[in-house]
Structures are given as C-alpha cells and as structure tokens.
Structure 1
Amino acid sequence: MTAKLKASPTFLRGCGTVATLMQVHDWSTSRLGSPSVWPQPLKTVAGLMLHSKTPAFLAWGPDLSLLYNDAYLDILGQKHPAALGRPLYEVWPEIRNDIEPLVNKTLSGEPVYFENALFTLRRNGEDEPAWFSFSYAPVDGPNGRVAGLYCSLTETTAQVLAEQNRQAETRRLYSLFEQAPSFMAVVREPSHVYELANSAYLRLVGRQDVVGKTFREVVQEIEEQDYAALLDQAYATGKPRIGNRMPVTFRRQADEAPERRFVDFIFQPITGPDGKVNGVFIEGNDVTEHARTEDELRESKRIALQTARHLDAVLQAAPVGIAMVDAQGKAVRANPANRQLWGAHPVSQGIDGYGGCKGWWADGSARHGRRIRPQEWALARALRGEEAPRDTVEIEPFGEPGIRRTILDCGAPVRDSDGNIIGSVVAQMDITDQVSIEAVLRETILTYHTIANAIPQIVWGTRPDGYHDYFNQQWYDYTGVPQGSTHGEGWKGLFYLEDQMLATKKWRHSLTTGEPYEIEYRLRHHSGQYRWTLGRALPVRNEQGAIVRWMGTCTDIHEQKLAQEKLVQSDRLKDEFLAMLAHELRNPLAPIATAADLLSMGTLDEEEVWQLSEVISRQAGHMTRLIDDLLDVSRVTHGQVTLDRQPVDMKSIVTEAVEQVKPLLEAKAHHLEIQLPPERSMVSGDRMRLVQVLANVLNNAVRYTPNRGRIALQMVEDGNQLTLCVRDNGMGMSDELIAVAFEL
C-alpha cells in the first residue's frame, strides 16, 4: 500500500528521504501542524536543513519539535522515523541533562559550539558512547523572537577513538622507550637540543633536566672521543655513527670526581617528510660492567695460566708425592716425588688398577697390618666424596720387594663449579724416619715416666710457656684429684688461697727470666689438709740454649715446717717469759731498797725496824719465787708457770702490791685511793702470782700517769666473784695494745 502524495510545499520538494516522509507524515499529532501552515522562518530554515549534506536538526516551538535531514539519520539510528515531529527531549531523554543547559542558553539568543563532546546515546537499543562536534544557533520566529534552534553537527566518534588509540599506542611506545634497558634520546636541530631522553639515559649522564638543553651542555667529556662531533657528522651526512666499547668520562656533578664508563652506541639520523635530516636518535648500552667482566675474565685467564705454571713448578719441587686422577680414577698426573716414593708405577686406568699397589694399614687400630683394598686408598675414597684426611700406611715400592716405607696418605676430591666431583688428588709423605724416631721417643718417654713414678716424690713438667702437661702418679696419689684435671692452670686450685698469688708471681718470673723456680707453699692433701710443700723447677734447654721444657718437683716439708715453727715459738716464749721476769723483779726491789735506806738511818725504834724487816722479808721471798721460775728451764721454754693455790685474803694481796709500788707512787706525788670491803675477802689462788699481777697493774698506772695524778683501787664482791678495778687519769692504752697486752 503506498501513501498518496499531497501537493507539497516547495521547500519539501526534491530534498531526499526525510523530505518525502515529511510530505506524507501525519502532522495532526504534532504541535507544528501541516508544513503548509508553518511560519515562513520555519519553512526557510527547514528547507536549508533538508538540502544540507551535513547532519543537522531543527527544534521548533515550545516543545522543541524535532525536524532533521537525511544526513542525521545515522545519528538517530532506530529512533527514526518515530522521532520526526516529536519533542526533542522525548527523542533524546538519555542526554537531556547534558544538552538542556546548552539548549536554554541558545534559546536565550546565545549560540554555542563544542568539539568532540562525549554523549552516551541509546539509538540502537543499547547505551553507547559517541563524540560530536556541534553548534547550536537560535532561530527567530515571525515576531522576531527566538522560536527554536538549529543544530549542525558531525559525529567524530571514529576520529576520537582513532586518536585515543593513537595516543595509547604513543604512550605504549613511550613506556617502552622509557623502560628500555638501553639508553635512548632524541636530539633535534644542528645544535642537538634534547627532545626526549629515557631513564637509562638520564642515569648514564647523571641528570634529570636534559630536555631543552643541548648535547654539549649535558655531556662533558674529559680527554675522550668528541661525541658532539660524531653527532654533527651524523646530522650533516645522514649516515649513522656507531661505536663499540667506547670510553666516556662524565663529571655528573661539578663537585664530583669524573667517572669513566664504557658504552656501545649508534647515532641514527632522523629524516622529516621532506627527506632532510632534522634530528638524531641516540641509542646504546652501558657496557661498563660487561667490559669489566671481560677484563676480569682475561685477567682470570692470565692468573689461571700463571697459577697453572706455578702449580706445575710446585709439583715439580714439592718433597711430597702428589698424584691426580679423573672421575673414573684414571691417573692423570704424578710429580717426581710420587714416582720416587713408589718407583716405576704402572699407569692405572681406574680404581681396580689400585690393586697393584701394595699397602698395609699402620695406624695402630684394629686394622693395623691388614692389606689395603683398592677401594680403601685415599684417592678412591675421595672420589666417593668421603673424608680421607690422614691415613698412616706402609707401602712396598714397585720393583723393591721386601722394602717397607711408612707414609701419610691424604686425599681430597676435586669439584667443578656445581660441586660435582670430577677427580681427586692425593698427597703422600714419607715418614719412615719420623716413625722410627717417634718409636725411640715413645720408649724414652715410657722409661722416663717409669722412673718418675718410681721416685717417692712428686714430679711435674710444663711446656716452655708454662702450660702444665705432666704430673707423675705421686701427684695424683698425694692430691687425690682425677688424672689430667690439673693440666694447664688447674694446679692453682690446690694451693692455699693466701699462697696462690705469690706462687704464680714467682712462676711467671721464672718463665720470663729462665731463673730456677723455688717456693714454699701450702698444698692441699687428699685428706683435705693443707700441707707445707717445697716446689722447685729448672728449665730444660736445647743445644742453642733455648728453653724447651720445665721440669719440677714437689716435696712435702710439713713436719719440718711445723718443727721449725715450734722452735721459733719456743724461743719467742722464752724471750717473752724472761722479759716478764725481768720486769717483775724490779717491783719487789723498790720496797727492799726503800726499807734498806730507812734502816741505815739508825733512828728507828724496834717496832719500825721489825716492820721494815717484814717488808724486806716478804719482798725477798717474792723475788725468790720469781728466781725459781727463771731457773725452771722447762717452764721458761714452754712459757708456763706453776700456780701454788692456797686460801688467800685479797686484802693482804692489795697491801703487798701497794707496798711494792709505794716508793714510785710517792716519787711521782700520786694520790692513791683504796676502797676495800670491811670483811676478809678469801680466794683460792697463788699468793705470789696475785701480788705480782696486781703490783704490775698498779706499777703501770703509776708509771704512765702524769705527776700528781689520781689512782683508784677498788675491790668489789659479787656473790662468789671478786673484782679488782684500777683506774687512773693517765694516757690509757690504745685498742691495738689492749688486744695483745694480756697474751703472755
């Protein structure tokens, strides 16, 4: 069924699909009404729009009824033909918020223009982003007021997406440029101004601010190739310039020392559309470490070759037999000392070939004397990765039947850089003479130990530095300590604490000077008693006079020491006893002398003569007993006095003691105050000794009190105890004197 065309307004004729549709469209539902009644401004603008090849639409009237041309159909998509004549916001509700401010601005009389504006359209049933460049222009109605707007637009979605892809590709390429391990830069113009430089390049030159600066400003070489001149050549000729392992010295900072680097590089000219060079692409690698590695490798090769020569010289000169085998045990090399040790040795092709080597274990173990199996030789064990540090074996050299040599056989695996065993090496030393000497030495030491243990005296020995490493059995029997526990410095713990420092000091002195060591100290016996011991030691010197050892003895002198101390003590007691008697003899002499003086005067009556005679008699008896003590050799020697205990009245003791000191008392004009109880004060004691003691105390009080002093003698009874107290105002005794005054 085809629509019947009515007579069309002239502005709709020959204008394309939309114009044809507008001729048959039912305009009754549109506020625009039939095109024939449209105001002239609307017809005019609509005609221009319909004839335009550029996408355009016209929004007219209060509801902005939409008119558009054929070029706009692709933008509408599935919204055509329903969009024709409908209000603008009903056609494009999804972008109303985006365009309404622009529409209102245009309807106010101000045109607008945007390029590549992004909108999200739903023109084909789904939201899709679309970019447009467009302009809104106000359109006046018949009354001269704005009645609508005219939009001319171009969809730029394809161009925008293409540009975005181009920019993304540019960013990707720049990222590759920036992250490239090689250094890169682009310089422009004949002066080589930096346009780009990646991180590697910035690290190389030690700067961040190169863009916009010339090459000569950034890179300052010192006595090296003129790289700026090479850039000039590349720019001028259009031909690349290439360098390999080229030295370059940068002074990265003004205050830093120059740094020498090595680089591989290419200066590649860049041509413009006109085919002329307008820049240079710089690309290269900092090969400093690689160059150093190559140098180190060459140096390593040189050293390895030199080491190989040195090793060959060592092998030739070594007095130790050395042999090498590969991973299968095949003999690779043997030095002259090895051939001299073994004789004409057939070349072994593997471990099984070692069976021809005659060897016996000689290490003193359970296998001592057993024939060595091929797989037991140090070379074979080392090939298996086993320890083979030091085997003592006896061998029979090839071609010398019956001859035995004792050797040390040491093997070690040879490994590659991954730790895999690629062979082994063995070192063999002839120790036949040493073994013989050691056997003689062992016999000598055994004999020495036997003799040392047979001596009834402690014997000990040290190294030259004083380290104690030998004690005979008598030491352990005497001290009771476990075997070996006193080696080194352990012996000090057995010394009496007060003797340790002196013993150590003397021992160090002997070690330093080489002088004989001799000291008496107290050594702990196994009973726990510390016994006096005489320690002596002499150095053992070699032919050159150097000390190679110290040998010493310890002798128990405890009994002799005690006897000596007793003798000294006896002499001391005798001297003290005699001193005491001499002192005590002076006390009775004073009253005797005084009485004798009085008797010689001849003016005394019979009673006074009798009293003085009694004084002389008593004091003479006192002296007699003192002299008896002096003549008692046993008591003098042992410092002992025999007491003659009898009942004694202490008041009479006081009287006699005062009588002895009275002459001195009167001579020094002292005042003596005596306080005695009225009754008799009986005690059991030696009368003479009591008088002696009290007279001694009073005598000291009289002697050490300044003239005209005061002395008080008081006797107090307290139950069955009697106390005599002597006080004076003299100088007194110090605490130190009090501590020893009553020892005798």
Structure 2
Amino acid sequence: MSTAAAGSLDGLLFEASPDCVKLLDLEGRLLDMNQNGRCAMEIDDFAPLCGQRWTSLWPEESRDALLSMIEAAREGRSARLTAFCPTAKGKPRWWDVTVAPVPGVDGSPRSILSVSRDVTELHRTREEQRETVARLGFILASSQLGAWELDLATGKALTSFLHDRCFGYDEPVENWSYETFVSFVHPDDRGQVAQAFEQALKSEQDWSLECRVVWADGSVHWIAVHGSFYRSASGEATRLLGTVVEITARKQIEAELRETTLAAVRAAEAAETERRRLDALLEATPVGIAYADVAGRLTITNAALRDVWGEHPLAASVDEYVEWKGWWPDGSPRKGERLAAEDWPMARALRGEEVRGELVEIEPFDQPGGRCTILLRASPVRDAAGNITGAVAAQQDVSERTRMERELRDSERRFRTITEAVPQMVWAARSDGCADYFNRQWYEFTGVPEGASDGDAWTQLLHPDDVGGVRERWEQSRVSGLMFESEYRLRHRSGDYRWVLARGVPVRVDDGDVVRWLGTCTDIDERRRLLDALGEREEALREADRRKDEFLAMLAHELRNPLAPIGTAAQLLRLAADDPARVRASAEVIGRQISHLTTLVDDLLDVSRVTRGLVQLETETLDLSGVIAAAVEQSRPLIASRGHALSIRSGRGSPCVHGDRTRLVQVVVNLLNNAAKYTPPGGHITVDVETADEVARVTVTDDGIGIDAALLPNVFELFSQGRRTPDRSQGGLGIGLALVRSIVALHGGRISVDSDGPNTGSRFTVELPLSQDTPDERRRSAAHVTAADSPLRVVVVDDNVDAAVLLADVLRMAGHEAHASHSAADAIESAARLAPVDAFILDIGLPDMTGYELATRLRAHPAAERAMFVALTGYGQPHDRVLSRAAGFDHHLVKPADAQKVLQIMGDAMHRAPARQAG
C-alpha cells in the first residue's frame, strides 16, 4: 500500500473493498492496487506495473474514453464507464469503472481513485435480455395485423377476419361496434380504454393503446390497438381506421425479462445471504466438516465433527495431525498400519489431491481404546488464480453400515454356495438394479459366458417384444421396493425362446433401505404353452356359446313376433264374433302369421336336414332362366315393399345345370331376400347369369350396407349375421346363408361373397357345374324355351314401373322380346312401333284408361290383330273374370302373378302361333 493510503481509515477501506481499487497520479499512472483487485485482474506481481499508465492495461478501443475520465478527475469531476478488459491471464471480463479525484489539503485534486467492479455476469444477463428483445422484435415483425374501420356517425364497425381472430373467433363476425369492442375489454382496463378513446375523439389525433381482452372461453389476451382519423373532402373526421394485433406473446416475453432481471437481483441477494448463513449451516449439517488454511491450521469445525471425535484439539499445522489416531482398515494394502500426519485426507488435499472417499478406523479422543470407522472426503480450496488457499474435509461415522456390509458379504458367500446347489436359475442385483450375480443354472440355460449377463446385459437375452414391458416392471419394483414378478421369453442356449417366470425380492437393512435384490427364474415354457392352447380352446367354446345364445334370443324374438298378433286376433274373434268383416280380417292375420311361423320352422328343419346330410335331391336337367324367374317372383313382394330397382342380365342363351329345382330356387330366393333386407329403401339389386370355364355363374349384387371385413370369413357360418337396424326390421335367424352354402355344396358347386366394406354393397356368386343335356321333356314347359324357339314379341303394361320392368326381365330371360309400358297411351304407341305384337299383358287399373278399354282399342289396331291378351290385376272374383273375358282377354291372372304361369302361357302361345297366323 502507498504511503498516501497507509495507516489511515482510507487505507483500511482501500484493502477491504471487494472491488478492484487503484490509486493513480494525476497523469493516470498506477501508484497502487488493492489485493482483491490484483486477484480479480489475476496479477501475481504488481511491482512491474507500478508507475505504468493505467490505460495500458486496457484494450485500444477503450483508452480514449479512459483518458477523458482521467481528464475529468483532474478537473475535480467524477466519471463512470462500462467497458471490456480481460485479466492479466486473458480471462474475459466486463467492468463498471468509476474515476474520482482524491482532494488534497487545499481541496484540489492530488491523485485519482479508480474503482472497477466486475459486472461480467450482469453484462451477460443484459445480453440475454437484448437477445430476448430481439426475439420479441422478430415475433412482432412476423405478426399479422387485423384491420378495423369505425363509422363515427353510426358507431358501426367493419372488421377483417384477423381482427376477429384477436377476439377469439374462428370465423368472420358481423355487426361490430365500439360497444362490442368494449364488451371484450378486461373490466380492469375499460376505464383506460374509454379515456384514451375520448381523448382521441377530442384531439382527432392518431392514438394507440394496449389492453387486455377476455375471450368467450374466459381466457385473457393482450392486444395492441392503433387508430387514425379519416377525413372527408371538407376536412371533417368521419371515420376512424385502425389495426389490432394480439401481443400476448410479447407481454409474456416482457414479463420474462422483468422476471430475469429480478431473478438476477435475487440471486445476488441470495448469494450474500448464503454466505452469512454458512456458519449456521455448518453447525446444522449431520456430516463432520473441517476447514484448514494453507498451512494446515484448523480454523473451522462443526458440531458433527465433535460428535465423531469428541472434544478434539485444533491443530495449528499438518505436523500436529499426528495427535489424531487413525488406522488403515480391512481391504487396504496397509491394513492395521497407523496413519501418519501426511496420510490424513486434509493433508493430501492441501497438496492438491482430491480424496473422494476413504475409510479409516479411528480412536475418538473421548473413547480411549474404542474404535469406529469413518468415511472421509477432502478437496483443496483454490483462489481465482488456482492457488491452494486451504482445504475442506468431510467425515461421517459409517461403523454400523460397515458392520452390516460385512455381515451381508458373509451372508452372500453362504447364499452363493446354496444357490449353486438348487435346480432353479438364481440371480442377484445391487440396489440400483444392476445385476451382479447369476448361478450356474442360469449360464447352463442361456449358454452365455459367465459375466456376460451382468449389469443391464441380461435384457439382451429377452425376446424383443418383451424387453420394454420387463424393463418397466423391473424399474417400478426397484423404485417402489415392491416384489418384482414377470413372465417373459428368455433365449435358450438352443436359440429358441422359452417362457420363464421371474421373481425378485428386496433385501433390506434395519432402517428399511433396500441394499440388494435376490430372485429366481423358473422355466414355465411347457405349462405356458399348455395354458395358451387351453385358452384358445376356451375362447372358441365361448364364441360358439355366444353365437348359440344370440341365435336363441333371435329365435325367441322371431317366434314371439307372429304369436303376438295371433293372440290379439284370437281375442278379437271372441269379442267380435258377430262382425263378419272383423272375423275375416282376424282370420287373415292368423293365417299370415301361421304361414310366417311355418316358414321359420321349415327353415330350421331345412338347415338341420341339410347340414346333417339327410336331404335327398330330386335332380333333373334345369334351365337356369326358369329357376331365376321363379325366385324373382317369390322375392318380388319384399323387393317391391322396400322400393328397390331389380335388374336381371344374362348372356346369350340360358345355361342348363343338373339339380333340384326347388332347392336351387330356394338358393336364389335366399340371396335376393338377403340383398333386399340389407339394402336401404330405394336401392339397386342386380342378378347376372353367365357361363365360364364349364360352370354356370349366378351373381346377386346390391348397393346396401355391405359386410365388414371381420365378418366376411364367417358369413356362411350357422347363426352368423350382419349388423341390424335398431327396429330389427331385417329379421331372420342367421341360417339362410348357411343353408345356401350347404345346398350349393350338395349340387357340387361353390358360393363366395365379396364386399369392400361397410356401405359399399355386397356381391354373392354361385357357381354350378354346367350340364350338356337339355332339360327333361317330361318337365319341360314354356318357361324353359329359349330364343331359338320362335320367341314372342310381348308388351307388358303396368303403371307400377318396378312390376312391369321385372316381368319384362323374366320374359327376356326366357328368350322373348319383351317391352315395358306404364300407361295406356304408351302401350298404343309401342304397339304401332313394334308391329306386329304377339302378346299383351295388361294391368286393369291404369291411370289414363282401364285395361278393358285399352284391350278393346288395341284389338282394333293392325299391329295387334293376331295378339294374345292377358289380364294382370289385383281382382280375382268371378265377376272380374267375366269382365276380362268380355273385353277380349285370353287369360286372367291375379297379382302377384306366378312367373311360371306367365311363361307357360307364353309357351302355349308360341305353340299355337302358326295356327293363329294361318287363321
């Protein structure tokens, strides 16, 4: 210290200051620097610097500013500067520098005092703040502005979608106004917003404000609003135009900046507080702590150290450590040898050694002859320059833990001896979960070298699909201390994976801490495979039982449906015995429902007989067109009731097959009814008949609800059904398709189904072997005549479009040329266009004239002079038949007409055609 500062209070402050304090002459040359400053600047020897210019220690870019500060000090003024200057050893540092004059006796400056405070951390914090501000700027620059326009006369506003987004809307909003905007403003901000708006209206100047708005979901957001006045040609402010942008993110960043600054201040205050609390913490810590200066003198010890050693001496140097009695313990190369003074960890730390943990047996000062084991750690304390200024040592009495570990090692030796003799695989792991022991049976099972499973490597022997689950359960057990149990596949020495059952239990000390894990692995592969096989069988039985229960429930439902109206009709018969109309209606109900019951029972008996092979087929050579026609006629009421459009398409000619006519009709009826039931009203059903590869193929296609991919493989199984409507309007017992498959199989054919999934429709295809024979003459009728046998030209007239089209399709399949008309006028036009016409099938109840009148007019037409007329009507009483004969009809059929009957009539007409033509 210089003579100017020595021996005075100023001199004491000079040395006590934590900052870098320098004394300069009026020319700016260094006279002195305090010890803390030399440490901060990493100056080992100040002597060479004494007398040099202070500015020479600074980078070139700061020297002009420093010279200006020195000039200010010479003039009696203080100056301040923040600048960068590395230490003497090149460490980067930022300094807050203050220069002030030191007055002499006469008050004029006689020297200059410079105080430099290390503000590197503060500078770094500010740089981080500037970076945060830069990020904020980027966010604001990339923000999208919402636009608004307020009519000052009406108070109504027009807004953009981005404006509305700032108020929580996902779609544009109409009818905005100033009041609407204020309703969104946070209650605490409304006064500020109203004042700013009123002031803007008064001054008619641009204005801006930031406020909070509350969205409909209750969340609070910040917005920035800017407005400018728009003036008319006369200069009157008529509208207020502006922008709005959400600035919630910016506000959050600003809050983070404030919090960062406060955190830095709090951190500095906390550091100071921590220093003040150091002594208290040392006294309270349960670990013995001792601090020694560079000479080895013990300057600080705490209560825990005295608990270990008793009332101990305060050694003045390393040499006096010999008073402390300690011996090297078991496991040390110097076991039993007493520690010399220089062996103590504190002495070694003062030599620069880090002692991470060392066991020593000691004799406490208050227990002569007694022994205990302590764990010691020690580290050197260094100054900023890296020089050792002292050392800290920590000590802990681990006598009890050492004893338990020794007992545990003895127990483990016994444990390993036993485990080598047991037939199971045995393993052990440390408390951290790392395996460190496997018995001989483990290595014989896995075939890996000894030690290859230690640590976490045992999991590499697990099946890849089991690793994740086993690791998770093992970690849960290790953390919770609960028993570990898991079944997984372990790789056998053969390369196969075998199932094992692993169990592990924790080994605890008296205080409950887990110190080890012991466990076993048992080969359960055979048992597991047996259980899996039993489980699959049980699942199949459960599925069969479920389907049986569903079938019984459906059967009960289907049987109750007709029983309910039968019961009601029976009641009516008793109550209204004198009412013929009611009796007749009730009898018809009972008849229909008994017919339905009979159908259900027949279906059940059918599927039973067919599936058990008890059905005898009455086979003959059949024309498929007749089979399709009969099936269509049976299914037509259901198809018509649901408003479906039915199309029948066939190739040239009609294929013949060898089979049972009734059963094959039953197959097609089932498929048509199935399509009708599972197609929503107004759908489309198509029947395609074709031949390919020596088979006749009938395909029924619909655009209904389709079939789920999961159901496709089982659709032909007994009692299998698709999804039903809530009112169960589709009905059925789930046996139809099973019956179809069985019947087709009896004919040597096959059936398949295809669907692209729900709501994509379905397609059922029946393939039967083609027959090279012609249909049996004894069973052949006009229904089987093909186009090669002089087909007829037929006009079908019915205002029911579906009925006319379907009957025309049936006739075409039989080889005839059929045309459908839906009114009398259309029929007359068709007769003229198609002349000559061989047959007319007329509905009686037509919209523009009756069928009787139409028949009379057609008979007078040259195109129909040789035609046959067939009445098709819903009326079948005797007088109805008299009327049809009087109108010139050759035949009278009652709806729904039997397709076979129609085809037979057409066949008879073909056979009689020459005679009629000759006549």
Both proteins in one fold, TM over 0.5: no
- Which has more radius of gyration? 1
Q: TM-score w.r.t. structure 1 length?
A: 0.38
Q: TM-score w.r.t. structure 2 length?
A: 0.32
